[in-house]
Amino acid sequence: MKRLLYLVLFTGITAFAQNAENKKQKDQDAIKSMCGCFEVTFNFAETFNYSNDSLYRPSKTKIDKGLEWAQLVTDEDDKISIQHLLQVGNPSKPMIVKHWRQDWLYENTDFYLYNADNEWTYKKEDPSQIKGQWTQKVYQVDDSPRYEGSATWVHVDGKSFWENTTPAPLPRREYTTRGDYNLTMRGNRHEITDNGWVHDQDNEKIIRESGKEDIVLAKEKGYNTYVRVPDERCQAASDWWKENQDKWALVRAKWDKVFARNTDLTLKEKVDHKVLYKHLFDDEVTTDKKIESIIDSFVTQ
Nearest to 147 by CA among 188, 108, 93: 188
Q: Where are the domains of the chain?
A: 2-231
User: For residue 6, what pLDDT is reported?
Assistant: 57
| Rounded Cα distance, 296 and 301, in Å | 10
In this predicted model, what pLDDT tens digit does every residue of 178-233 receive, in sequence order?
A: 999 999 999 999 999 999 999 999 999 999 999 999 999 999 999 999 999 999 99
Query: Could you tell me the pLDDT band of residue 16, with boundaries at 50, 70 and 90?
Result: low
Question: What residue type is assigned to position 294 of the chain?
Answer: I
pTM, rounded to two decimals? 0.92
| Rounded Cα distance, 126 and 110, in Å | 9
CB-based contact 171:188 (threshold 8 Å): no
Please give the torsion angle defined by the CA atoms of residues 287, 292, 295 and 297, in that order, rounded to the nearest 10 degrees. -120
| Rounded Cα distance, 116 and 183, in Å | 5
In this predicted model, what pLDDT tens digit does every residue of 22-65 receive, in sequence order?
A: 999 999 999 999 999 999 999 999 999 999 999 999 999 999 99
User: For residue 9, what pLDDT is reported?
Assistant: 54
What is the distance of C-alpha 61 from the center of its chain? 23
Mean pLDDT for the stretch of residues 260-284: 97
Q: At what angle do helices 288-298 and 235-259 cross, to 10 degrees?
A: 60
| Rounded Cα distance, 121 and 176, in Å | 24
In this predicted model, what pLDDT tens digit does every residue of 112-146 receive, in sequence order?
A: 999 999 999 999 999 999 999 999 999 999 999 99
Nearest to 58 by CA among 180, 224, 166: 180
Strands 159-168 and 154-156: antiparallel
